[in-house]
Amino acid sequence: MALNTVVLEELSLLEEVRPLLARLGVEEMSANAAGSVSQSSAAELEVRTPITGQVIARLRETSESEAQEAIETAYRAFLVWRNVPPPRRGELVRALGEELRAGAADLGRLVTLETGKILSEGLGEVQEMIDICGFAASLSRQLEGRTIASERADHRMMETWHPLGVVGVISAFNFPVAVWSWNAALALVCGDAVVWKPSEKAPLTALAVQALFLRAAAKVGGVPEGLCSVLLGGARLGELLVDSPRIALLSATGSTAMGRAVGPRLARRFARALLELGGNNAAIVCPSADLDLTLRAVAFAALGTAGQRCTTLRRLIVHESVYEDLISRLQQVYRSVAVGDPRAAGTLVGPLIDERSFAAMQAALQEARSAGAEITGGERIEVEAVGGEAAFYVRPALVEVAAQLPVVKRETFAPILYVLKYRELEEAIALHNDVSQGLSSSIFTLNMREAERFLSASGSDCGIANVNIGTSGAEIGGAFGGEKETGGGRESGSDAWKQYMRRATNTINYGTRLPLAQGVSFEIEPAEGGATNDSPNPE
Ligand code: NAD
């Protein structure tokens, strides 16, 4: 199978990266593609590992004309793929899952190298991909429509679901590959083609996934060329997907600022949008909470992925009766949690993605400090074994604030946990909902009334609401996404597949009369002996 538009050009790879790419099939894929792609006008994309800040690869960016060609090829692939029976489409996704399973250790490590998340989380991201492939492969035999009661005699009404077209996927750096799989696995079984623009900060893992996809496609056979492709580059290529009339659905994951740019452009051409944007997630800790469990849950939710998950816990709203106890224990955790090389056993917090992220964290802490906040941690750390000028390791920051300051209401994509005190549950829920984002939320309580209030219509206003577990680490079986400025999209499990299909309502008349809906009468002069709306059935 010929490749789309990706060429791995000149490489200056770390010793560690090259064998991973070789085993995952990236070099082979790129070598095959080299002859078919023009080498002119090659802008370069520099890939750095946040572990050391070093450049680990240089890739040739996809040009705009190549991107347009990939979209056209995807559209042609869609015209074929939509007619392949869904269970056969599911076979491709099942095979992709098998390739991911075989390459999990290598791909997980590459995720760690490219994003700086600890190995266990790198592997967890790949496991999530395997899980969604399993889900989607099963779904391929369960795509279904309803039969609906018709008000007219001898009529049947039903819904059918058809493939939609080419799905564009724009993804963020922090889940460089899982987000693609949430979209692609569903889109493929739904009969769509996929064009992916990964984050410019994490293109290597995207190439690796593309290589695994091509292996799966070769094994299964009969997969049209260009069904899935990858465009390497920055926002400009994303805009190209956004504006292309060939892209029927654009799934965009990233900051709310990106969503603000993308949303109106999609609306202008009436395209379907699936927006997965920033979060500002909170947890309420009630008087009856199991504090040992709460401490562990808060630590994972706030410190995991160095605070760089969309679902990271950013605000902790604690009842005054347990405040001192919980916060003093949390301060100990923040002072001692192992920050360092994400490849090392024992490390729980790896580096920030880059200097910009570090600067944004410091600016937020300065703003909070000026407003009287008390801060534990937040400073830059030298990690001798790996660090350097260009690597940004920080001690996570626990920030006690007296009120929900403007800085608390913003998402700063770094390990900062703001802590607030409350007295009445209503007050805590009001604080909880008083931000413009609405992704994930938790309550820690053993009181059934409090838990149910939080989950009720007048409780959390988020797309995800949990009891006695943290805000992050969602399973693929549920629909994932959030409200308000988080964008309203839902991906992954439950019935999220419906967004990747086009719904048709069908009404079938198997009688001999033509009754009109709502009892409307529309009589034309009957021809001699002809039927009217109301003429009785002959039987
Ligand atoms: P980002 O917004 O900087 O970039 C995300 C992607 O959008 C990249 O691929 C980028 O090239 C592209 N992009 C940027 N501007 C664009 C434009 N005008 N048109 C088209 N494409 C454009 O985000 P990031 O720093 O990579 O990721 C962090 C952000 O993503 C955080 O805000 C985080 O909360 C959010 N996020 C959300 C979810 C979710 O599911 N809700 C998941 C992961 C990350």
Q: How far apart are CA 196 and CA 394, in angstroms?
A: 32
> Which residue's CA is the nearest one to ligand 1's atom 23?
254
In ligand 1, which atom is closest to the CA atom of 255?
32
**Structure token pair of residue 219:** 């094994």
| Ligand 1 centroid, distance to 172 Cα (angstroms) | 4
Fold match between domain 8-276 and domain 281-480: no
SS3 144: coil
Beta 440-444 vs 479-480: how paired, if at all?
A: unpaired
Q: How far apart are CA 91 and CA 105, in angstroms?
A: 23
> Which residue's CA is the nearest one to ligand 1's atom 35?
254
Q: How far apart are CA 44 and CA 60, in angstroms?
A: 5
Q: How far apart are CA 284 and CA 287, in angstroms?
A: 10
Residues whose CB is less than 8 angstroms from the CB of residue 397 and which lie 6 or more positions away in sequence, other chains included: 334, 361, 365, 375, 376, 377, 378, 415, 416, 417
**Structure token pair of residue 158:** 């039903």
**Structure token pair of residue 388:** 């350097």
CATH no., domain 8-276:
3.40.605.10
| Ligand 1 centroid, distance to 197 Cα (angstroms) | 11
Q: How far apart are CA 57 and CA 193, in angstroms?
A: 28
Beta bridge partners of 316: 283, 419
| Ligand 1 centroid, distance to 360 Cα (angstroms) | 16
Q: How far apart are CA 395 and CA 398, in angstroms?
A: 10
Q: How far apart are CA 481 and CA 252, in angstroms?
A: 12
Residues enclosing ligand 1, CB less than 6 A? 170-175, 197, 199-200, 234-235, 238-239, 242, 253-255, 258, 261-262, 276-279, 310, 411, 413, 439, 486
Residues whose CB is less than 8 angstroms from the CB of residue 214 and which lie 6 or more positions away in sequence, other chains included: 1, 3, 25, 29
DSSP 8-state code for residue 537: P
pLDDT for res 31:
59
In ligand 1, which atom is closest to the CA atom of 262?
19
Q: How far apart are CA 392 and CA 356, in angstroms?
A: 10
Residue holding tokens 């964008």?
Answer: 487
Per-state percent for the chain, helix, strand, coil, to nearest 5: 40, 20, 40
Beta 437-438 vs 440-444: how paired, if at all?
A: unpaired
Q: How far apart are CA 118 and CA 459, in angstroms?
A: 34
**Structure token pair of residue 244:** 């292309």
- Tell me the catalytic residues: 276, 310
DSSP 8-state code for residue 339: B
| Ligand 1 centroid, distance to 372 Cα (angstroms) | 31
User: Domain residue spans in the chain?
Assistant: 8-276, 281-480
Of residues 30, 25, 63, 29, the one with CA closest to residue 45: 63
pLDDT for res 539:
42
In ligand 1, which atom is closest to the CA atom of 482?
41
In ligand 1, which atom is closest to the CA atom of 279?
34
| The domain over range 281-480 is classified in CATH as 1.10.3720.10 | no
**Tens digit of pLDDT at every position of the chain (539 positions):** 344 344 455 555 678 898 999 999 997 776 555 433 334 456 889 999 999 999 998 889 999 999 999 999 999 999 999 999 999 999 999 999 999 999 999 999 999 999 999 999 999 999 999 999 999 999 999 999 999 999 999 999 999 999 999 999 999 999 999 999 999 999 999 999 999 999 999 999 999 999 999 999 999 999 999 999 999 999 999 999 999 999 999 999 999 999 999 999 999 999 999 999 999 999 999 999 999 999 999 999 999 999 999 999 999 999 999 999 999 999 999 999 999 999 999 999 999 999 999 999 999 999 999 999 999 999 999 987 786 788 999 999 999 999 999 999 999 999 999 999 999 999 999 999 999 999 999 999 999 999 999 999 999 999 999 999 999 999 999 999 999 999 999 999 999 999 999 999 999 999 999 999 999 999 998 777 655 555 544 44
| Ligand 1 centroid, distance to 414 Cα (angstroms) | 15
The DSSP code sequence of 152-211 is: STTEEEEEEEEE--EEEEE--SSSTTHHHHHHHHHHHHTT-EEEEE--TT-HHHHHHHHH
Testing ligand 1's pocket by substitution, the residue of 181, 195, 240, 258 carrying the most ligand atoms inside 8 A of its CB is 258
Q: Are 180 and 188 in contact (CB under 8 A)?
A: no
Q: How far apart are CA 200 and CA 444, in angstroms?
A: 38
Testing ligand 1's pocket by substitution, the residue of 170, 311, 410 carrying the most ligand atoms inside 8 A of its CB is 170
In ligand 1, which atom is closest to the CA atom of 311?
34
Residues whose CB is less than 8 angstroms from the CB of residue 367 and which lie 6 or more positions away in sequence, other chains included: 405, 406, 407
Residue holding tokens 């080419």?
Answer: 166
| Ligand 1 centroid, distance to 276 Cα (angstroms) | 8
Residue holding tokens 């450049």?
Answer: 55
> Which residue's CA is the nearest one to ligand 1's atom 16?
235
Angle at which helices 203-220 and 26-34 cross, to 10°: 80
> Which residue's CA is the nearest one to ligand 1's atom 20?
238
Of residues 28, 20, 25, the one with CA closest to residue 56: 20
SS3 81: helix
Q: How far apart are CA 433 and CA 454, in angstroms?
A: 11
| Ligand 1 centroid, distance to 258 Cα (angstroms) | 6
pLDDT for res 6:
45
In ligand 1, which atom is closest to the CA atom of 257?
2
| Burial of 516: CB neighbours in 10 Å, binned 0-12, 13-18, 19+ | exposed
Testing ligand 1's pocket by substitution, the residue of 231, 310, 355, 436 carrying the most ligand atoms inside 8 A of its CB is 310
